[in-house]
Amino acid sequence: MESVTEQMKEYVWSASKKNRYTQCGFHWKMIFEDQITSKTDRRYADVGTIVHETIKTFLRMQEAKTASHPETKDLLESIMKDLWDNSLNTLKPRANKCLDNFSNFFIDLRNKCPDLLRGAIIEKKISTTINPIDPIKIRGIIDFYSPVLGLLIDWKTGAAITLYPPMAFQGKMYEILIRSLNYEMPKTMFLMLQNNLQIDLPAMTDSWLIQELISCRDGVLAGQFPKRRGALCAWCPFQIRCVTDGICLWNL
């Protein structure tokens, strides 16, 4: 059987896996090591998936033509209509707001740069290996990259008002993934589709990201899964396991 060290050589880190470990090691262990499935409220995630799928379909259809604002909005709405799940109807206003803000953003950007979509990368999964002296595999899905602008954009269906650490890590990882395909060093930004805010990723070094990943990997290798109480606890499906971990109930 493969040792844990051997398994970690093949382990592929995504930004969400790394961020989950940083937020709470025990939560990470439940999902990725013990592979415990849990029932969580996935409605917001499902809306996010539908909005992303709508934008992806729209951009692929638009790659070769221009659209006025009403056309853009109508097209986005008709694409989403085919993808929509009626059990999510209470969250429809949220999805509509995302499409409205995306539509305004897209029209504005394409007015400034008609070639925006030439050679664009749209919702593409990219994998690479970084840090040759101590290799680590990484993978991520790029929402959008325009080689013409050298601009990488990640759409978010939430409403953050500032760059927080997990986003910074995700943005830096995407930047490295795009560079692995020999594209120019991109400018990276997050578009918050709920509040129409554009948040830029500041310049950060590759070594910062590598050190963060090494620290998580070594923590997993050492069997360190610290419980970190914080915002994640409010919707954590492992609350009972977290409290009873290490307690032998029949000895109580």
Residues 181-240 that bind ligand SF4 (CB under 6 A): 227-229, 232-233, 236, 238-239
Answer for the pair 43, 58: CB distance below 8 angstroms, yes or no: no
- Choose between 27 and 73: whose C-beta lies nearer to ligand SF4: 27
147-172 burial: b if 16+ Cβ within 10 Å, else e: bebebbbbbbbeeeeeeeeebbbbbb
Residue 57 to residues 15, 51, 234, Cα–Cα distance (Å) = 24, 10, 34
Work out how close the CB of 7 gets to ligand SF4 at its nearest, in angstroms, rounded to a whole number.
23
Cα gap 154→189, rounded to integer Å: 7
- Choose between 21 and 155: whose C-beta lies nearer to ligand SF4: 21
Could you say whether residue 26 binds ligand SF4 (CB under 6 A)? Answer: yes
Q: Is the dihedral of CA 101, 104, 110, 112 positive or negative?
A: negative
Residues 91-130 that bind ligand SF4 (CB under 6 A): none
Structure tokens at 8: 């970690």
Work out how close the CB of 246 gets to ligand SF4 at its nearest, in angstroms, rounded to a whole number.
12
Q: Which amino acid is at 81?
A: K
Could you say whether residue 38 binds ligand SF4 (CB under 6 A)? Answer: no
DSSP conformation class of 203: P
Could you say whether residue 4 binds ligand SF4 (CB under 6 A)? Answer: no
Q: Give the residue among 202, 105, 192 at the shortest CA–CA distance from 146.
A: 105
Question: How many helices (H) and strands (E) would you count in the chain?
Answer: 9, 6
- Choose between 185 and 232: whose C-beta lies nearer to ligand SF4: 232
Structure tokens at 83: 């993808």
Could you say whether residue 36 binds ligand SF4 (CB under 6 A)? Answer: no
Work out how close the CB of 248 gets to ligand SF4 at its nearest, in angstroms, rounded to a whole number.
19
Could you say whether residue 39 binds ligand SF4 (CB under 6 A)? Answer: no
- Choose between 22 and 96: whose C-beta lies nearer to ligand SF4: 22
- SS3 label, residue 191: strand
Could you say whether residue 167 binds ligand SF4 (CB under 6 A)? Answer: no
Work out how close the CB of 33 gets to ligand SF4 at its nearest, in angstroms, rounded to a whole number.
13
Sole binder of ligand SF4 in the list 15, 24, 59, 99 (CB under 6 A)? 24
Work out how close the CB of 34 gets to ligand SF4 at its nearest, in angstroms, rounded to a whole number.
12
Cα gap 161→209, rounded to integer Å: 23
Sole binder of ligand SF4 in the list 17, 18, 20, 27 (CB under 6 A)? 27
Q: Applying CB under 6 A, which residues contact ligand SF4?
A: 24, 26-27, 227-229, 232-233, 236, 238-239, 242
